Amino acid sequence: MTSNFGKDWKPQTALVHAGTLRSQFGETSEALYLTQGFLYDSAEAAEARFKGEEPGFIYSRYANPTVDMFEKRMCALEGAEDARATASGMAAVSAALLCSLKAGDHVVAARALFGSCRWVVETLMPRYGIEATLVDGKSVVAWEEAIRPTTKLFFLESPTNPTLEVCDIAAIARLADSAGARLVVDNVFATPLLQKPLELGAHVVVYSATKHIDGQGRCLGGVVLSDKDWIDENLHDYFRHTGPSLSPFNAWTLLKGLETLPLRVRQQSESAARVADYLAEHPKVGRVIYPGRKDHPQADIVAQQMTGGSTLVCFDLKGGKSSAFAFENALSIIGISNNLGDAKSLVTHPTTTTHKNLTDEARAEAGIGAGTLRLSLGLEDAGDLIRDIEQALEAA
């Protein structure tokens, strides 16, 4: 089995070739190794492999050749030393957070988190004696003020769901360093192409590969990326013994997704920018938030840390919930779904779906109103999407 890796490759090249393990048959497409275990040539070989004296696979909960290709390709894209692929984005987030923490430790996290991430921080971790302080992630001062002697981890998402606010990753990473803590960034909304948290000083990056990396609405997956020492010391044993492993079939699907990721993210971001500009001029639309627009509340930070505006747009309809529902129900191309990053354009009403469990005050604090909608742009023609939005706004 041979592996290739060019360190000077551009993302487009790495995403087609990096990490490929080609078998003796010389297949062009990556091979799918649907196997749980691996045979050893002798008892001595099994002993050597278990001792780590000889390379090779042992059991697919630990590692599998197809999953390995996905991890290596993600490392090449992210500029990370090592990675572990997981069965879902939440398996990646919970592993990244829990693998290094113990009772008595303290975590600072941005309040604007994906719902399940917030549950892990706010509800699960305290059961095990890990305390968390939730802060306004936009405010670097708030992060600084939340630091305690026991603070071990910072956790944030940027841009946030659904209001696409951004956190100053470089400044927050410097604070983490000065506190002796590690910064974990959930980079789903930016995609690995538009924002590089490790280059900005973050220590660990996590993805739900379910979103743009698959990008075609097929399977769940996730990945945690960091330096080799952190993974060896923290994630390695946690991962092997708790078993959040990615299935080889899903790894193969995600590898195929990575090949087209740059094409898709570019087109989806271009469509998002056009739709955001269209919405901003419409009389029924209040606020439009798109990180690629000059009127984004933190346009200066966007310019510092992102190379594109993302594939999502958030906007408010002036008529509140009834307008938002009428708009959603009148759409004919864009589907109603809480998913994102798909080839199909999708819209969601956070107040009644993804963010329904927040209190009214928490939603108001997060800038989510009754008329707020989040739109994930797909691969359809942008003109067709704008015509669909135009006719749905008439109904709103």
Ligand X SMILES: *Cc1c(COP(=O)(O)O)cnc(C)c1O
Catalog residues that contact ligand X under the rule CB under 6 A.
88-90, 93, 114, 117, 157, 161, 186, 188-189, 208, 210-211, 220, 222
Radius of gyration in angstroms for the set of CA atoms belonging to the chain, rounded to a whole number: 22
Residue 125 CA: distances (Å) to CA of 81, 85, 117, 356, 382: 28, 22, 11, 22, 43
Work out the widest C-alpha separation in the chain, in whole angstroms: 75
> What sign results for the dihedral spanned by CA atoms 25, 31, 35, 36?
positive
Between 137 and 285, CB nearer to ligand X = 137
Min separation Cβ 325 and ligand X, Å:
23
Q: Cis peptide before 162, with omega less than 30 degrees from 0?
A: yes
Q: Which amino acid is at 215?
A: G
Between 18 and 110, CB nearer to ligand X = 110
Between 222 and 248, CB nearer to ligand X = 222
Min separation Cβ 181 and ligand X, Å:
20
Between 366 and 392, CB nearer to ligand X = 366
Q: In terms of DSSP H, where are the helices of 202-319?
A: 228-230, 236-242, 248-280, 299-305
Strands 372-376 and 204-208: unpaired
Rounded Cα–Cα distance for residues 372 and 162 (Å): 9
Min separation Cβ 91 and ligand X, Å:
7
Q: Do 85 and 210 touch, CB atoms closer than 8 A?
A: no
Q: Cis peptide before 126, with omega less than 30 degrees from 0?
A: no
Between 285 and 350, CB nearer to ligand X = 350
Min separation Cβ 349 and ligand X, Å:
16
Beta bridge partners of 145: none
Between 33 and 189, CB nearer to ligand X = 189
Rounded Cα–Cα distance for residues 46 and 170 (Å): 46
Q: Which of 20, 22, 54 is nearest to 38 (CA)?
A: 54
Report which secondary-structure segment, H or E, holds 215. Answer: none
Min separation Cβ 207 and ligand X, Å:
8
Between 238 and 278, CB nearer to ligand X = 238
First to last CA, the chain: 58
Residue nearest to ligand X (CB): 89
Min separation Cβ 251 and ligand X, Å:
14
Residue 176 CA: distances (Å) to CA of 97, 296, 386: 15, 26, 42
Between 100 and 208, CB nearer to ligand X = 208
Between 261 and 392, CB nearer to ligand X = 261
Min separation Cβ 89 and ligand X, Å:
2
Rounded Cα–Cα distance for residues 290 and 313 (Å): 5
Min separation Cβ 13 and ligand X, Å:
27
Min separation Cβ 29 and ligand X, Å:
24
Rounded Cα–Cα distance for residues 288 and 275 (Å): 10
Rounded Cα–Cα distance for residues 332 and 382 (Å): 14
